Structure 1
Amino acid sequence: MQKLTLLLIFLVSISIDAQVIYEPFSSSKLGETRELKIQLPRNYNSEEKTEYPLIIVLDGDYLFEPFAGNLDYQAYWGEMPKCIVVGINQVASRDKDLFYDKEIYFPAHEGASFYEFIGMELIPYIESKYNVSKFRVIAGHDLSANFINYFLFKDDPLFRAFILFSPDLAPEMANRVQERLTTMTTDTFYYLASAENDVTDLKEKIVNHNTQLAALNNPKVHYRFDDFKDADHYSLVGLGIPKALNEIFALYKPINKQEYTDQVLTYQEGPFKYLEKKYDDIEFFYGFEKKLVENDIKAIAAAANKLDNLDALKDLSKLARQEYPESMISAYYTGMYYEKENNMKKALQYYQSGLLLKPSDFIDKDVLLDKIYSIKE
């Protein structure tokens, strides 16, 4: 437990560099003002066209900071996209916000107003003020985790990903969610978590819910369940946040060893075509373009060399020059192509020209000089 506390403190502290805004929001649907917490990505610039996924966090009075810290940390290392995180404080209004009718088990009265507040006021407001994409995630804990399920039942759901930590499920909710996910036609992520020492009454319902969802046979639904050992109703949140985010943004991650071995090297159309497909899929899934990262260039170059695929290396060198014209990356991979083609004169020219460009994470003057001396010798 002490290690978990230290991890949360660390994650919260690293988000200081991101822009956190605390502001009141006057809602006509609720007839009152709500406190919002909004974290913008590091170096956020409203004038740029970059769009960011939107993460809505219910119970923002205690869930916002651990989410914001995790998101900022993973985005810093390129493991997931930069996101805009919005937390809704509910410390004084939780029961009425999450109220549902005891006969039909759907939001009613203040609960219905809170539901409309999120979809009809909050999201349009954030979209009008910040550069957000249409890829939206919503998260909750306990009663608020149950509440976010109601957004599944719209014909065109507002959210593409749902994160439920130990939900206090309403009657019939498990059956309704199963039926809805069975017919879902849009790629949807659904993350569910409980713990070894979770609240007993909740745990039993959650385990049964998982049994139903595990039997789903819908390729459009991306489902994961975690049952954390040595954790309880509250500590499971700190363990579940990175698990959920990793699941949702798995496709976005840079190419790792397993992906390189299992997919890049075995892709029938070659490593460069795999790279194109990966980035096309990212844009299709998340609704925004990912800038080509050096790690992926390096992986594709290694695969092309290993497979003696000169065409892939040629296409990669063109892409490197296009994406990184002022970086040593462009010169290095173009030189690599000509070296592989056995045109040492051209290779030497590009390696030498790179000495005047900006170094990257993996390529500096020493790397280029090693190539130059190797060719001259």
Structure 2
Amino acid sequence: MKNFYTLILLCLVALNLQAQAIYETIDSYKLDGKRELKIQLPRNYDSEAKRTYPLVIVLDGDYLFEPVAGNIDYQAYWEDIPDCIVVGVKQGNTREDDFSYDGDTFLPANEGADFYEFLAAELLPYIEENYKASNFRVIVGHDLGANFINYYLFKDKPLFRAYISLSPDLAPEMVNRLQQRLSILEQETFYYMATADADVKALRNTIVECDAQLKTIENTKLHYKFDNFEDANHYSLVGRGIPKALNEIFALYKPINGKEYNEKVLTYEGSPYDYLMKKYEDIEYFYGFEKQLIENDIRAISAASKKKDDLESMEKLAKLVNKNFPNSMLSAYYMGMYYEAEGNLKKALLRYKAGLLLEPSQYIDKEIMLEKMYETQDAMKD
């Protein structure tokens, strides 16, 4: 089993090589020196485009950057999560100092306080000034780093919207402080924590205790998820926790699947088109950026509209597709589908014919357009 997860991790790292990787050095006044960064940009990153991307900060970037960046690149490729900008902070020789805290207050002190300020006051502004990062920020940490990420929750306005805490080495009082802080959050916040059966025993015991307390929190703004993996240790749980955490954080973003179609789209009180609009509005509200319309969701809403015999939804969807994909066969296909459902076969046929001159999409190609043409012509003869 361990070899299986190692293989998956290696595949993700290899896939990650296809994304844009940048190595930079940032001059830090807070740290009185330089700090090396690893930066992965999305495959389709365009510095001139208007869109922005969620920002993922990875502590212990020396070893944690590649598994995080690889998972993000892989899942974004399949449109399960949005494209993200991933930034790893190298700490190989400084992590003990970077993550240090006071022995009385258990809050960042000395070099730990400097690193805290470096990330908040220097690193984030630097990335946002030079890259198209959105306000939706994720931070990832492992053991000492996983404890450290919690300190950013204690600001009056937390710097991050999502926290991935992998086998945290929790400071004294951190469990109680976390429970108190997460209970009164006023902004939608995602918090993921993981341990494993073969995790470091002292860490695991405290993590399980922490989970028991966090599960009692009643705050609709908090989206909390905990995993206790079997057949994993302090290091291998990282490879299993990262994709699970990303799935939780970006659950709303995911394409409409069979479960969502049957349980939410078909049972929605409004029209299928209204469901699509609300889903995309919720995505923008939760994540702070607009999701581009994807073909998978178009297909799902079209099927639901047809199943419910909802001509108005079909017309609105066809116009929306035409607006977003004017040069694609998608626009002709779905407008033709609407005219067919309306009973106007002549207009439907004209649309399908016009579609032959447009660009094919992921699911709609020339063969499908020709098939629809022949079906419509046969129907017109009856």
Query: Would you say same fold, with TM above 0.5?
Result: yes
SS in 1 for 2:17: helix
Q: Does 1:3 align with 2:4?
A: yes
The C-alpha deviation readout for 1:63-109, integer Å capped at 9, x for no partner, is 00000100000111111111000001111001110000010110011
**d(CA) in 2 for partners of 1:321, 1:349:** 15
Q: Which amino acid aligns with 2:327?
A: E
**d(CA) in 2 for partners of 1:39, 1:343:** 50
| Alignment correspondent of 2:111 | 110
Q: How many residues align?
A: 377
Cα offset for 1:127? 0.4
**d(CA) in 1 for partners of 2:51, 2:376:** 41
Q: Which amino acid aligns with 2:254?
A: K
| Alignment correspondent of 1:160 | 161
RMSD, aligned α-carbons: 0.7
**d(CA) in 2 for partners of 1:6, 1:312:** 45
Q: Which amino acid aligns with 2:101?
A: Y
| Alignment correspondent of 2:37 | 36
Cα offset for 1:346? 0.8
SS in 2 for 1:145: helix
The C-alpha deviation readout for 1:179-232, integer Å capped at 9, x for no partner, is 001000000000000001011111110001000111111110000000000000
Alignment of 1:197-236 (within 5 A): 197-236=198-237
Alignment of 1:233-312 (within 5 A): 233-312=234-313
Q: Give the TM-score normalised by structure 2.
A: 0.98
SS in 2 for 1:33: strand
Q: Which amino acid aligns with 1:333?
A: Y
| Alignment correspondent of 2:133 | 132
**d(CA) in 2 for partners of 1:192, 1:347:** 53
**d(CA) in 1 for partners of 2:119, 2:336:** 53
SS in 2 for 1:356: coil
Question: Structure 1: 5+ residue runs without aligned partners?
Answer: none
Q: Which amino acid aligns with 1:273?
A: D
| Alignment correspondent of 1:193 | 194
Q: Which amino acid aligns with 1:229?
A: E
Cα offset for 1:149? 0.2
| Alignment correspondent of 1:89 | 90
| Alignment correspondent of 1:80 | 81
SS in 1 for 2:27: strand
Cα offset for 1:19? 1.0
The C-alpha deviation readout for 1:14-39, integer Å capped at 9, x for no partner, is 11121111122111101121111011
Q: Give the TM-score normalised by structure 1.
A: 0.99
SS in 2 for 1:202: helix
SS in 2 for 1:64: helix
| Alignment correspondent of 1:51 | 52
Greater displacement, 43-52 / 244-253: 43-52
The C-alpha deviation readout for 1:223-249, integer Å capped at 9, x for no partner, is 000000000000000000000001001
Poorly superposed stretches of 4+, deviation over 6 Å: none
Q: Does 1:368 align with 2:366?
A: no
Question: Structure 2: 5+ residue runs without aligned partners?
Answer: none
Q: Which amino acid aligns with 1:103?
A: D
Q: Which amino acid aligns with 1:321?
A: N
Cα offset for 1:43? 3.0
| Alignment correspondent of 1:330 | 331
SS in 2 for 1:138: strand
SS in 2 for 1:317: helix
SS in 2 for 1:135: strand
Q: Which amino acid aligns with 2:335?
A: T
**d(CA) in 2 for partners of 1:24, 1:124:** 14
